Amino acid sequence: MRDYLCEDTIAAIGTPIGRGAIGIVRISGKDSLRILQEMFRTKSGERKEHFDSRKMYYGVVVDSSGEPIDEVLTVYMRAPKTFTGEDIVEIHSHGGIVVVRKILREVLRRGARLAEPGEFTMRAFIHGKIDLVQAEAINELINATSEVSAKVALKHLEGELSKKIKLLRDKLLEAKAYIEAAVDFPEEEVEIIESGEVKRRIQEVLNGIEKLLSTYRDGRIIKEGIKVAIVGRPNVGKSSLLNAILQEERAIVTEVPGTTRDIIEETVTLEGVPIRLIDTAGIRESSDVVERIGIERSLRSIERADVILFVIDGSCGFTEEDLKVSEMLRGKENVILVLNKKDLGLKVKCGEVSDWRCVEISAKSGEGIKELATEIVNMVLLDPETVLKGDDVLITSERHRELLEKARDSLIKVVNSIEAGFESPEFLSMDIDAALNALGEIVGQVTTEDMLDIIFSRFCIGK
């Protein structure tokens, strides 16, 4: 069980593990100052009792036998105007991981406990410094793999999403006040509810919720990346295309080994959006055409894909085997037909073989790759222009989406009841409460410990 009462003083290394110019040990809690007093010595080797809040001090830290560990800059920040809302001490040292660890060990020896993942942020939340959406955004920001996703997370951290949720909640509270009036004055009950005031407000909240929900698709894509499957018969140039895109962008973020030996997945950033490319290459040689084009494996990645690149060798034209692949993709709208090997001269042109969007490229020379990238991004994002600017508030979290849907469903019930003509105000009130709770859970006005455990355990230690 986590320490939700924040009784312990916690500490962790607050900078990435490894070699850096400086390393920071962060301490939060009531013993922070005492620990600093015990460990810090001035240039002239004296112990120091008084530290001004938010002022940097230069000196050394010493271990329990009084031996200096390193020269440091240190700062004490007095509660409650700190990130966690508690006393915080930061010790900035020269950095080598050995030194930073040594300082941390000394801090722990003097009574602090190693912070659990997310514990600093959790304390900030518990002390009302940030709400839950903001707390989650810190993690989102740390894990952002592209410029746009970082921007979206920053909006959450700055409280833009929370503000919207709270406005909706306030409006809903107004509607509830009307309904409560109806409970208190039964003789005017029908009049109050039918006056339209309740319904109008609830409808406004519903619209606001729908608007936020409509951003989830783009939000999820920005956060998780566009899943692109590259399919086609052997030798049309799938692997070459994958490499051409990687080269074009040069910004390989991660390399995820495929789930099977034959499927390769790589992530690149196109126009600030992460793209996860899945090459269904390396398909076994087999006399059976169906087997050769690896229908089963390809199907799986096709089903998971946001965009399917159907590659054919345009210099050969559209072959029997290409036809097999195209059968597999029939009815799908998220397909881009890629006519490869343009440098050899194309026997088929875009517009001649199918209704799918189509791009002519040469994986060898790089021609058309940029256009293909733009086509991918535009195909997937509902609102590419706004999203790519990163100025809008987007829902990116499954948790937020679920709660918004829950609130929406309760409010739809309310509207239906009002329209149907009769429902006792108590029942309306119950559904509104359900919606209020769902919205409250998003920002953490309503919480359960289980939920907090899940959310904060996703953090790295030291955050």
Residues annotated as binding site for Mg(2+)? Answer: 239, 260
Q: Which residues are annotated as a binding site?
A: 26, 90, 129, 235-240, 254-260, 279-282, 463
Percent helix, strand, coil in the chain, to 5, is 45, 15, 35
Q: Which residues are annotated as a binding site for (6S)-5-formyl-5,6,7,8-tetrahydrofolate?
A: 26, 90, 129, 463
Instruction: Report the residue number whose CB is nearest to ligand GDP.
Output: 237
Q: In what order do the strands lie in the sheet with 254-256?
A: 254-256, 264-270, 273-279, 226-231, 307-313, 335-340, 357-360
Of 64, 195, 235, 286, which lies in the binding site for ligand GDP, with binding defined by CB under 6 A? 235
Q: By CB under 6 A, is residue 10 in contact with ligand GDP?
A: no
Q: Which distant-in-sequence residues (6+ apart) come within 8 Å of 143 by Cβ? A: none
Q: By CB under 6 A, is residue 378 in contact with ligand GDP?
A: no
Of 118, 232, 444, 462, which lies in the binding site for ligand GDP, with binding defined by CB under 6 A? 232
Q: Which distant-in-sequence residues (6+ apart) come within 8 Å of 422 by Cβ? A: none
| Residues in contact with ligand GDP, shown as a per-residue x/- string from 64 to 83 under the rule CB under 6 A | --------------------
Phi/psi class of residue 424: alpha, beta or left (left: φ > 0; alpha: ψ in -120 to 50)?
beta
Candidates 11, 177, 4; CA nearest to 100 is 11
Q: By CB under 6 A, is residue 234 in contact with ligand GDP?
A: yes
Q: By CB under 6 A, is residue 294 in contact with ligand GDP?
A: no
Dihedral of CA atoms 31, 34, 36, 37 in degrees, nearest 10, equals 180
Q: By CB under 6 A, is residue 236 in contact with ligand GDP?
A: yes
- Interface with Zn ion in residues 279-298 (CB under 5 A): 281
How far, in Å, CA of 355 to CA of 282, rounded?
A: 28
The number of helix segments (H) and strand segments (E) in the chain equals 18, 14
| Residues in contact with Zn ion, shown as a per-residue x/- string from 186 to 225 under the rule CB under 5 A | ----------------------------------------
Of 138, 312, 363, 380, which lies in the binding site for ligand GDP, with binding defined by CB under 6 A? 363
Of 84, 93, 134, 340, which lies in the binding site for ligand GDP, with binding defined by CB under 6 A? 340
Pick what 17 binds: Zn ion, ligand GDP, none; C-beta below 5 to 8 Å, kind-dependent.
Answer: none
Asked if 354 contacts 318 with a C-beta cutoff of 8 angstroms, the reply is no
Q: Which residues are annotated as a binding site for GTP?
A: 235-240, 254-260, 279-282
Q: Which is nearer to ligand GDP, 207 or 286 (CB)?
A: 286
Q: By CB under 6 A, is residue 343 in contact with ligand GDP?
A: yes
Pick what 363 binds: ligand GDP, Zn ion, none; C-beta below 5 to 8 Å, kind-dependent.
Answer: ligand GDP
Q: Which is nearer to ligand GDP, 244 or 273 (CB)?
A: 244
Cβ atoms within 10 Å, residue 237:
23
Pick what 362 binds: Zn ion, ligand GDP, none; C-beta below 5 to 8 Å, kind-dependent.
Answer: ligand GDP
Q: Which is nearer to Zn ion, 150 or 311 (CB)?
A: 311
Strand 88-93 and strand 23-28: pairing?
Answer: antiparallel
Q: Which is nearer to Zn ion, 281 or 295 (CB)?
A: 281
Largest CA distance in the chain: 85
Cis peptide before 117 (omega within 30 of 0): no
How far, in Å, CA of 11 to CA of 22, rounded?
A: 17
Of 156, 164, 176, 341, which lies in the binding site for ligand GDP, with binding defined by CB under 6 A? 341
Q: By CB under 5 A, is residue 230 in contact with Zn ion?
A: no
Q: What is the CA radius of gyration of the chain?
A: 29
Of 200-208, 234-242, 317-325, 443-451, which part binds ligand GDP (CB under 6 A)?
234-242
User: In Å, how far are 22, 24, 62 from 33, measured between CA atoms?
Assistant: 21, 16, 15
Q: Which is nearer to Zn ion, 311 or 443 (CB)?
A: 311
Asked if 93 contacts 72 with a C-beta cutoff of 8 angstroms, the reply is yes
Q: Which is nearer to ligand GDP, 202 or 361 (CB)?
A: 361
What is the binding site for Zn ion (CB under 5 A)? 239, 281
> Residues in the site for ligand GDP, rule: CB under 6 A?
232, 234-240, 281, 340-341, 343-344, 362-364
